[in-house]
Structures are given as structure tokens and as C-alpha cells.
Amino acid sequence: MSAPKKGDLSAAEKELLGVIAAGNAQEASRLLGSKDVRVNCLDEYGMTPLMHAAYKGKADICKLLLQHGADVNCNEHEHGYTALMFAGLSGKTDIAWMMLDAGAETDVVNSVGRTAAQMAAFVGQHDCVTVINNFFSRKRLDYYTKPQGLEKEPKLPSKLAGPLHKVIMSTNLNPVKLVMLVKENPLLADAEALEKCGKVMELICEKCVKQQDMNEVLAVKMHYIGCVLHKCGSFLRERQDKLDGLIRSLLKGRESDGFPVFQEKFIRECIRKFPYCDATLLQQLVRSIAPVEIGNEPTALSVLSQAITGQVGFMEVEFCTTCGEKGAEKRCSICKMVIYCNQECQKLHWFTHKKICKTLQEEREKREAESAKHVEAQAREAEEKKALEDVTSSTENLSLDQSEAGNM
């Protein structure tokens, strides 16, 4: 098939655009399987199906189109809009993330010189701005794997770029998860390697602050990850129990309610150590966190996560008590009050959870008993009411009967 021309759509392609607008993923899937549909076809404005789906906020169809080879960087639109720009305009953070993950360029500008982040900001879609600004391509990291200027050696050994990029791209900022990511890669779980990575994080942070289009979100994220990496490095150097010891410290709950005090203090300390005091985002974070007593909501982690990843739309999802991954669904079988990704996460947490598991269980049972009582009481009340109604209606019938009888 020849390269798509603007407005040159087959009947099936026109149907596909209609199906996308209606959000019918099943039909879209069927049409994409047809040989009359080119996944990168262009409508009269130069919009691809992916641009349409991104603009309409249809995440499942975007995913489907990408699986079918949709070009995320297609730039045939009459005003130079890309799929990422449309995602930003729609305000759907999950779609913006999907486009970035599929390799969408962030510095492309439209016909009036605006980037996707600037367009999203212009229409007030700040969560999308956050997601876009939060993204850090592998290419930008690889810059540090090449010697610059008079350097004989690069700042980052190239074998570390992959594992470090994986940590950087984590949307879960729970320090336990980040330490787990370090731990699972033997190249990274090494004091010297971590020191190098930590320094590169500082450099990227500085660059984000000093570049013309300052990116505070990324600066804070890079600084935070740098702090976690430094912490891992110092544990590897000084402690016998290595990173497991760090994970335990981060998870250890206080006696009264199991609140992880060390974790809270560690995150607050990371934020306090951010080297650019004038940054608006830093001031915002400090204002939200400083007045909160340790142990109360919101936690420093939740404030930081929301500021950096903009994840507010994921409230309905269950998060792992240990590592903060979303979509966890294994409940503690005793208290049923905490939830984990898997047995490994549960095992890591048990040394501290076991101290409050029983209390949580009792609290839950008490609550359940109370609500059962409440339901019972309601049922009884309804029954009594019904009985009363039956009596009244039968007396009404009776009086009616009597009057009828009187008429006879």
C-alpha cells in the first residue's frame, strides 16, 4: 500500500475513525485486522487514528493502535500537532504516559512554536504537564555514558545506563520499591556504581533547574532518586545486612500504629536537602508537609508522589503496603486490612506488621459486628413498619367493608 495521503481514506478507515469517536474498542480491533485499514492513515486535517483516539481520551484504543504499529511521532497534522499534544489537550495522563512510553518526542513544537507540555499548560491540563515533564528519555541519560570535553572516562559507565534508567522511569516513588529495583540488579547494587549514579542524578537535577525552560518536577524527582541511591550506597558500605537492612528500616512501623517513621523522616530529609531553595515546587512541598505531624496524613510520600507523577486519578486502585505498587490484591489472611503484590512483599513486611496485625483484626471484626448489628436493626425496623402498615390497611379495608355493609 502507498504512503497515506491526507484525506485519502477507505470506507473501512472512515468507519474506524467513527468507531474511535464512539469509543468502541472491540469494533476498532476488528477493523484494524482488516486489510483495508492502514493504521497511519490521515484524515483531511492530517490526523491519524492515534491522534483521534488520544484527543478523545480513549486509552484502550490508543493501546490497540500502538500495538498495531501506529506512528507516535507522525507529524502530518495541518498545525503540526502530534499525538502527545492531543493527549495533553485531552487531559488524560495515562494516555500522555502511553505516548511517551511509545517514544513520543517531547521537544517537537507545533506551528506556533509550542511543545506538548506548553500546550497542555495553556489549556490548564496540569497533570498532563507533570507527566510530560516527568519523562526522561534513555537518550538523555546516554549522554552521560560518553566522555565530555576533557574527560577520559564518562561519568556513567554505559552498563549502568539501562538499570539506572529503569529506576528513573519508575512511576512508583515509594523508597522501598526504588531500593528493590536497585537490589534486583547486581550491576547497580554496588557502592561505587551507586555513587556514580547518584552524582549523575545531581547533574541532571542541576541541568533541569538551569535550563531555559526550567523543569522543576524532573529536578525534584532526580534529586529524590539521587538521595535514595546515595542511601543505598551508604548501607552497602557500612552495614552487614546490606539493602535488606535498608528495606527493613524503611518498613519498620512504630509500636502504636505501625506507621513507618524512618521512611517518613527519610523522605522529608530528601526534600529538605533539595539544593535550589527558590524553586516554587520545593516551597509548595515544604508548605504541604511541614505542618503535618509525623504519623498523620498526608504522608511526605503521598505529597511528593502527587507533585511529581500527578497521580491523583488512581485513587480507586489498591496499593501494596510494602512497595506501593498499584493493583496489589493479596490481602493479609488474618487482619484482611493490608494488601500486597505477592508473598515476597508480604514476607518483607511481616516482621513489623505482625506487631499490629492482631489489633487490626480485632478492629475490623468489631467494625463488622457493629455494621451487622446496624443492618439487623434496620431490617427489624422495616419489618415492624411493614407489620404496622398491614394492620392499618386491614383496618381501612374493614371500615370500608362496614360502610359498604351500611349502604346495603
334 counts as binding Zn ion under rule CB under 5 A: yes
**Nearest-approach distance from CB 268 to Zn ion, in angstroms:** 23
Kindly tell me which residue out of 335, 339, 348, 349 binds Zn ion, with binding defined by CB under 5 A: 335
51 counts as binding Zn ion under rule CB under 5 A: no
Helix (H, G, I), strand (E, B) or coil at 52: helix
Strands (DSSP E) along 268-401, which ranges?
A: 330-331, 339-340
CB nearer to Zn ion: pick between 12 and 334 = 334
- Interacting stretch for Zn ion, rule CB under 5 A, among 6-14, 132-140, 276-284, 321-329? 321-329
Burial 149-166 (b: 16+ CB within 10 A, else e): eeeeebbbbeebbebbee
267 counts as binding Zn ion under rule CB under 5 A: no
**Nearest-approach distance from CB 349 to Zn ion, in angstroms:** 9
**Nearest-approach distance from CB 210 to Zn ion, in angstroms:** 36
CB nearer to Zn ion: pick between 88 and 253 = 253
Cα separation, 142 vs 223, in Å, equals: 18
CB nearer to Zn ion: pick between 309 and 322 = 322
Cα separation, 318 vs 324, in Å, equals: 9
Residue numbers 235-264 binding Zn ion by CB under 5 A: none
**Nearest-approach distance from CB 243 to Zn ion, in angstroms:** 16
Kindly tell me which residue out of 50, 99, 160, 320 binds Zn ion, with binding defined by CB under 5 A: 320
Give the closest residue to 4 by CA, choosing from 50, 32, 44: 44
Give the Cβ contact number of residue 232 at 10 Å: 28
CB nearer to Zn ion: pick between 56 and 254 = 254
83 counts as binding Zn ion under rule CB under 5 A: no
Phi, psi of 404 (to 5 degrees): -60, -40
DSSP class of 67: H
**Nearest-approach distance from CB 338 to Zn ion, in angstroms:** 6
**Residue 340's beta-bridge partner residues?**
330
Residues 344-383, mask of contacts with Zn ion (x by CB under 5 A): -x-----------x--------------------------
Q: Is the omega angle on the peptide bond into residue 298 within 30 degrees of 0, that is, cis?
A: yes
Kindly tell me which residue out of 266, 341, 346, 349 binds Zn ion, with binding defined by CB under 5 A: 341
Q: What is the largest CA-CA distance in the chain?
A: 119
Q: Distances from the Cα of 297 to the Cαs of 249, 288, 293, 300, in angstroms?
A: 20, 11, 8, 9
332 counts as binding Zn ion under rule CB under 5 A: yes
Rule CB under 5 A: which residues touch Zn ion? 320, 322-323, 325, 332, 334-335, 341, 345, 357
